[in-house]
A and B are shown apart, each in its own frame.
Chain A
Amino acid sequence: MDEAKGWLLDVYADQDVGIVLWLLTDDDQRLRLRMDIAATFYAAGDFVLLRQAWIYLKDKDVKLERTTRHDLFLGERDVLAVTTSNLSNLPKLFTGLSRQFPALDYYDVDIPLSLRFIAHTNMHLLGRCQVMLDGEWVKAIEPLDSPWEFDPAPIPLRILTLSPDINPSIRKPISLRVQYKQKEYSLQLEPTRTFMIGLKADLKRLDPDLILTDYGDTWLFPQLKMWSEQSGIDLNPNRDQNKEILTRRADSYFAYGQVIYRGAQAHLFGRWHIDRHNAMSFGEYGLEGAMEQARVTGLGVQEMARKSPGAGITAMQMFTALRNNVMVPVQKQQVEGTKTLAELIRADHGGLIYQPIIGLHTNVAQIDFSSMYPAIMVKHNISPETVGKENAPEGLVPRTLRPLLEKRLGLKNILSVLDPRDCRADILKARAAALKWLLVVCFGYLGYKNARFGKIESHEAVTATSRELMLLAKEVAEDMGFTVLHMYVDCLFVQQEGFRWPSDFTPLMETIVDKTGIPIAMEGVFKWVAFLSSKRDARVPVPNQYFGAFQDGSIKYRGIELRRRDTTLWVRKIQLGVLEILASADTPQEWAECVPDVHAFVEHAKHKLKAGRVPHEELIVRQKLSRALDGYKSPSPAARAALQLQAIGREIAPGQSVQFLFTRGGSGVQAWELGEALVPGSVDTKRYCALLDRAIRTVLDPCKPLCISERLL
């Protein structure tokens, strides 16, 4: 028997029996291996129906067994266990069975293959392992590290980057830029045959582990298929040549109060494909973050790069259930308990949100509870099956979150003492950000309608506990002489005369941790922070809009135009420039003295705009279509731009963003992706100046005289 050591890159169902694994070995080989593994799912319910289901399945090449398994809410259940080694056939098998017997309850049907593999072998994706081989067959696999290590050995991936010379939705690309290690060159797309021969040769020669693309999902891979047919050159970008590209079509769906658009997808086998323009949070934490999520969730890198963190948390919960012999239902069974009207009003609340004291405040500390909601779930054992129960054993959700929380806090601690110039800093930051997003969504999934183990009462228990902890923290701060200027779900803004350095606030933080049991961290001490008022009524504070400058001069802002995706780059740049001017002030007096400089800066910016010296790219407005075009009674600017695109044959689906400029005359907009040059002088400078004025009014808001109460008390 041979053995090999290396990193586990990919796992998927084989054609017939078992699974395929790809190992990146220590001696830089890429091995395609196979492993025997079976999958079992369960059916429960009426005995007569189960008997009939048994008869139906008898000749379907599966192993059948009557047994007892644990349902998280219903306890032990008599089930029909159905085991198959043909994992690729499992979905079809289940579809046939559920069509015949829809009234039965089904479990463990749609567990991702990678999770079944990890539960079976204890070997996580992207982890190092040692395998015992008999030819291509894996006989034993031993993990050599853990997904919870802070700094696992880096994987020596071969990364090939492919990007067209232009966004294909604007104009037809002429060439494809190819980057590999330090080399970079272009392949002309025509003649097609020459291009296909060249690309095929490059893929074979470079044999990348990851193909990173721009518009690969929505343009390159669909085009490759067409070009292959046209040119007669067969190009299969999979490393596993037995497989075709796995494609998923584009989709618009309604979630969280808005329409979300998901582009088409192209997944590879034996290597990964990630489209940087179609990867959900790739912009925030990049490849390292996507790999970290794959490592801890058990879903492949290609999946995690494209899916929301919610899919990752669901996978983690499924895995915890598998490892603890809890069945994962296909459909959520549990429903809300009965509540009186008073109980409903009491329970249905979110986090505690204060209304801040409007105006400019100096020497204000922002202290944040670290991953508050997950920490509450773990500390107070809040899980759908434990909520409302005294002394319950650790629930499924806290058991899932505990190692995730520990790793995220551990990474944050390492980063807090790491020299920012350390080459590991960016990688560790990306991993911490990726884990943060998993933790952020885990709370939402407690109450999510489609969450397998979701239950609204556990969602409500978390928010109730969080409100209580915030009130405790407020009381501690006030007992210690602080003024609480603002509170927002998991953070407090506090101030006390004579307190201006982070160390001044340490006793407060220690007391809060002592009282609440939840870790808290100092975000920073603002030399000044401005809490803003409503544009509708200046007497009404706005809880989620503020900006300020820390002691070191760095700026933080929330809720203002700078943070909004529909603000043009030009307005964002000017607003940021204004904040940088204001950040030089240390006191309210100096702040007020900066205002003339601000006005001069803004006037200069407007002058440049009117003189035509602002690049059009900086004036692009980006807005989403909230509905299909024929659903608009009076089309919004985005809808008008989408109509222009529709006229040239481009369809924009609800939830997709449209980019446009405001123009004088006509429909008042020009869609950016028309690719047409703007007529000189057609930019609606008046409209853009109005947008800028609005953004500048936001940051000069604290100049307005305060009402009597704030000024004298």
Chain B
Amino acid sequence: MNILPVLKTGKLIVVYAPGAACQESMTLIAELGLRGAVTIMDGGNRYRPYQVTMMLRRKTVDVTTAANRLFSRRAFTCYEMNTLLWSTPPLSQPYVILDMLNTFYDDHIPVNESCRLLKSCLSQINRLQLSAPVVITLAPPLVEERAFLVEQVCERADQVLTLEVSSPQITQPALF
């Protein structure tokens, strides 16, 4: 899945996949880091710094310079995700929000409160979109009754990329 070609300022891209497309999003972050600064907001403990550095190393010997262009913050509750977005300045560098809805599934947070916070988050994402492309990754919902939150995010997206996991097939080993 190559997300780079569809990234444009003003656009919101949502990637919906099992595991919130962890592997693909690390690849994206590494590719963006080779080109310039990136803002990463991790909402579901999906950021894999070592994996990113290994990917950078495959393409450049100057890993440090690229790594120093990757700016991240972590959110451990949906309130923190909201505060993160509100406190992020508009910059002309892409935003990657990893597993944005993970903390919204906490059953200690009432559903209507989750909705309110998501609405607030989406309003801030609209603001950030004006200065740079925004990519949000989402995993399948942890609880079925909150699946509508995924729909609310996808409705706002300019493009939704879905990654299905192919089931393992029995293949005959090659003879040569």
Residues of A that sit less than 8 Å from B by CB: 102-103, 331-342, 344-345, 449-450, 456
> A102-B113, A335-B87 in contact; A340/B67 too (CB < 8 A)?
yes
A345 near B49 with CB under 8 A, answer yes
- Could you list 11 examples of A-B contacts with CB < 8 Å? A102-B113, A331-B79, A335-B73, A338-B73, A339-B72, A339-B73, A344-B47, A345-B49, A449-B76, A449-B80, A450-B77
A338 touches B79 (CB 8 A): no
1/0 per position for B55-82, CB-CB distance to A under 8 A? 0000000001001111111111101100
Question: Contacts A102-B113, A333-B83, A345-B49 known; A340 to B70 CB distance under 8 Å?
Answer: yes
- Rounded to whole Å, the gap between the CB of B90 and the closest CB of chain A is 15
Distance of A567 Cα from B9 Cα, bound (Å): 59
Chain B residues, Cβ within 8 Å of A342? 64, 67-68
Structural contact, A341 and B70, CB atoms closer than 8 A: yes
* Measured CA separation A450–B76 after assembly (Å): 9
New A-B contacts (7) at CB < 8 Å, excluding given A332-B79, A344-B49: A103-B120, A335-B75, A339-B73, A341-B52, A341-B72, A342-B67, A342-B68
Of listed A334, A338, A341, A342, residue having the most chain B CB within 10 A: A341
Q: Given contacts A340-B70, A341-B67, A341-B68, are A335 and B83 in contact (CB under 8 A)?
A: yes
- Is A341 a contact partner of B75 (Cβ separation < 8 A)? no
Output the nearest chain B residue to A345 by Cβ-Cβ distance.
B49
In the complex, what residues of A have CB within 8 A of residue B176's CB? none
Using Cβ atoms and an 8 Å threshold, which residues of chain A touch B77? 331-332, 449-450
**Interfacial chain A residues near B64, Cβ < 8 Å:** 342
Nearest first, the 9 closest Cβ-Cβ pairs linking A and B are: A449-B76, A341-B67, A341-B70, A335-B83, A340-B68, A331-B79, A336-B73, A335-B80, A338-B71
Tell me the complex Cα distance, A456–B84, Å.
14
Tell me which residues across on chain B come within 8 A of A337, comparing CB atoms: 73
Which of A333, A339, A449 is close to B71, meaning CB atoms less than 8 Å apart?
A: A339
Across-interface contacts of A450 in B (CB, < 8 A): 77
Task: Determine the chain B residues whose CB is within 8 A of the CB of A336 once the complex forms.
Answer: 73-75
Residues in A with CB closer than 8 Å to B72 are: 338-341, 344
Determine whether B53 belongs to the interface, using a CB cutoff of 8 Å to chain A.
yes
List of B residues within 8 angstroms of A332 by Cβ: 77, 79-80
Identity of the chain B residue whose Cβ is nearest the Cβ of A348 in the assembled complex:
B49
CB-nearest residue of chain A relative to B69?
A: A340
Give chain B nearest CB distance to A402 CB in angstroms.
28
Interface residues of B in 78-98 (CB under 8 A from A): 79-80, 83-84, 87
| Nearest-neighbor residue (CB-CB) of B85 within chain A | A335
CB distance from A75 to the nearest CB of B (A): 16
Q: Closest chain A residue to B84 by CB distance?
A: A335
Q: Which residues of the partner chain B approach A344 to less than 8 Å between Cβ atoms?
A: 47, 49, 72
B49 / chain A contacts, CB cutoff of 8 Å: 341, 344-345
Give Cα A332–Cα B79 distance, bound, in whole angstroms.
8
